[in-house]
Structure formats: C-alpha cells, structure tokens
Structure 1
Amino acid sequence: MAKVGVFFGSNTGNTRKVAKFIKRGFDDELMAKPVNVNRVEVEDFAQYDFLILGTPTLGSGELPGLSSDCEAESWEEFLPKIEHLDFSGKTVALFALGDQVGYPDEFVDAMIEIYDFVEERGATIVGAWPTDGYDFESSESVVDDKFVGLVLDQDNQSHLTEQRLATWLKQIAEDFSLPL
C-alpha cells in the first residue's frame, strides 16, 4: 500500500490537476492516486499516516461544497463524515488554490478550515509556505507570517506553479521522510 494519500476538493478541476501533478512527483509505492473527497470512503481516507489535502477557495473564502454552488459535494460535506477520526500520529500537508487579484481580502481562506480541522484532531501539519511573492490584502490561512500550506494562484501566477510545486514537494518529502 502507498504511504501517502492525496485528497482534494474541486469545483472547476484546477485543484484536481494540481493533485495529479503532485502525484507525478512520487512513485506509486509512495503515493496513492489522488482522489476527490466526494468519491472517498472514510475508511480509505483514514488508512494513511501521511496526507496531502488540497482545496480551492470559493466565493467569500468558503470551502467547496453544495452551499458554495458546487455541482457536487466536496470538503464541506466530507469534513463532518470524518470529524470522529483521531489524527494523532498523522502528518498532513495542505495546498490551496486562490485568486489574489479577484479576492484579495479572503485569499485562500478555505485552507485554514481544513488546517483547523486536522490540527484540532491531533495532526502534525507540515509544509508551511512563505507569503513572499503574493499580492493580497488578507488571508486567514496565514499563521506566524506564513501560509499554513502551499498556495497557488492559477489565475494570476500560473507561470510560478511548477517551481512552487517542485520546491514544496522537496520540503514535504523531507517532512514525510520520503525520497522524492
């Protein structure tokens, strides 16, 4: 079985594309195929000690889900299904997509909801990312002057995505004690 589970929520498919890019950075023995949270069973999610969780931010800083006009269920509906899980002993890395120009006041705010959720349940969270190189007004996902996970802006900085991902993957591979 793979050691790292990759799970994402998505509305337009951009987060899925990033999850697939992350997967390409590791071999099949280390990392499982990325799965949309609207297609995963709780038992399958819970089996991993290392998790990479990704989300877009919708509307005014919301997690994707039916109340944010997604066509299918997503993180909003999945988190209540796993609220009973103990994340002690699990290491979690987060990534988020957002639009710093269109939504500068709630840039990638949805990521903090997943961060808070897993942290409250005992997870060790790795992969904090610098805010340098972004131009936004505020983000709830900034803790101790860093984003709580990798931040990508496919709308305005897609030319930086590949390098940011490569750097972050090296960082979390060390945190997960896995070869890249």
Structure 2
Amino acid sequence: MKDNCETAEEESYVLPSWRVNQIILIAVRFLTDEGYYKDGFDYRKAIQNKGILLKAYSAFKSENLLEMQKISLSLWKEGLCLIATDSETQQVCRMIAYNDSKTAAEIMQIIFHEYGHILFGHTEQCPNAEAEAILFSAIATFLMIAEQQFHIGQLVAKDSGGESFFEGIKAGLMERFCTQGGDAMIYA
C-alpha cells in the first residue's frame, strides 16, 4: 500500500470506515494465522518469523541511539522502524527498535505499531500512516491482552477453529458496514 500523505501535517486524519474494517481484519488475520490463542504464543517470535529484527533500545550503544534520534521523523522515544543489516546473516532487513524501559503492554503496543508501518508499506511520516499503525496496534494489543486474560481465542478455536473466529469477525463487519450504505471493501 502506498502512503497517502496529502493531508497537512497539522490536520488530524480520520480513516474511512472501509479502511478501518480492513485494518481490523488484517490484525485479526495476522494473529489468527499465527495461532495467538495457542499456549506459549510469542508475538515477538511471530514478527521475527516474518524476517523482521526486534531490538531493544538498551541493546544499542548510546551514540547510535542519538544518531537514530537525529534522523527520526517520529516519536523515537517509543519505537522506530528502520532498515538494518542483520549481524548474523549480513542481509538487509527491516528492524523494529523499541524502548524497553516501558511496561510489557506498552512494549507490545509499540512493537505492533511499528509492525503496522512495515505491514502497510509506509515510507514517510504522515497522519493517515500513523492512524493506520495506531489502529492495527490497538486491535492486535487488545486481542493479545483479551486472550491472556480470558482465553477467548482458545475457546473459539476449541469449538470451531481459528478460521471460524476470523470469518465471524469478517461477517460482523460486513453486516454492520453494509447496513450503513457503504460499499463493501473488506479484504481477507
């Protein structure tokens, strides 16, 4: 997806409802495909399995963090998405650097936010890119915390499988969206 950065930097950006539905489904699909409801699921490992390096700020030399701060357009104190060279394979890849002085829930939100930028192909800082990454992160973090607390995904998967969970959410969004008179633009 291409960035749509035509909105002035000072303006707030409201995502259209069809895009909100898409992002909800993308977040649910990602976690469902990765089996987030299974015992021992590790969201960090799921993201790393996509070829993305995760690195805590504490693992960087302080001068390197200062350099990243200088070139960053975003809230670098939380997290950054960058292109890096894997020290083991020497391959160029995406990296998510995150502030590990935060709580576990905040770190999860930061990592999902930065992963959203990668997933949606964002290449520059703009309001709609931030809105998309924030929404993706909110949905993914909510599902993870709800699963940790209530095991909803496990219950659904046990009764009818993870695909049924995804299809149920998709059907609910389609029903709600289509009854509001919009064109259905929901992708699986």
Q: Which has the higher contact order (CA 8 A, sep 6+)?
A: 2
TM-score by length of 1: 0.24
Which has a greater percent of helix? 2
Bigger radius of gyration: 2
TM-score by length of 2: 0.23
